A and B are shown apart, each in its own frame.
Chain A
């Protein structure tokens, strides 16, 4: 069975600070996808990134960056120069790629990020 752990329940930062959200996963499969989603108070899930287990290259998208380390089974998410609009719950998730798998997502417990003005 797979598991996703987000140890940080809540984080508060002041606007313009950088913040890193941690994600550690467990799976016996060698092929899988990792995701990050943002959930604002309205509830909808906003897709941020999908990472293939074979691709350990770090990615940057604007103020967002992701650090994938297979050696430590971590997929951390950093927001640079945080803004108030970044306040939301962020979920890390795992999906297996194995054939025949329905590929449902296993979610972490989420991290509530509050960016203070």
Chain B
């Protein structure tokens, strides 16, 4: 079946630095990718929707200058957390929608810890 891969699965970074998380669709083209954030014991909250070749659409309350999303190709979207702070520590998970369908596939998620 379709696979969405996220990398890295776990990352620890120092406060003030930037960290990039990649989301790849391995065997299909994804015109749309979504980035979610999940705090411990909470639900997944949509951060932004990225469409290949255009700017991402951010949900209300999500700082677009802090969470940079790039969807440069039909198989890759990246989320860069800039000037990370401990409160950015969370589980980030991406999903991708196959170009010609309604099925949405999720990546394995990335645990970010900012120390």
Residues of A within 8 A of B (CB): 33, 35, 37, 43-45, 47, 50, 91, 95, 97, 102-110, 112
Contacts and interface: CB of A to CB of B under 8 A. Distances in A.
A91 B107 CA distance: 16
A105 B43 contact: no
Contacts of B103: 50
Majority SS at the chain B contact face: strand
Contact of A110 (B43, B49, B57, B91): B43
B107 to A, nearest CB: 8
Given A43-B93, A102-B49, A110-B43, 6 more contacts: A35-B104, A37-B106, A43-B111, A47-B105, A108-B43, A110-B42
A47 B106 contact: yes
Given A43-B91, A50-B103, A91-B44, A105 B34 contact: yes
A104 B46 contact: yes
Nearest to B6: A44
Contacts of A104: 34, 46, 49
Nearest to A46: B106
B102 to A, nearest CB: 6
A105 B93 contact: no
A109 B32 contact: no
A102 B44 contact: no
Q: Which 10 A-B pairs have the closest CB atoms?
A: A45-B106, A43-B109, A44-B108, A109-B43, A102-B49, A107-B44, A107-B43, A104-B34, A110-B43, A104-B46
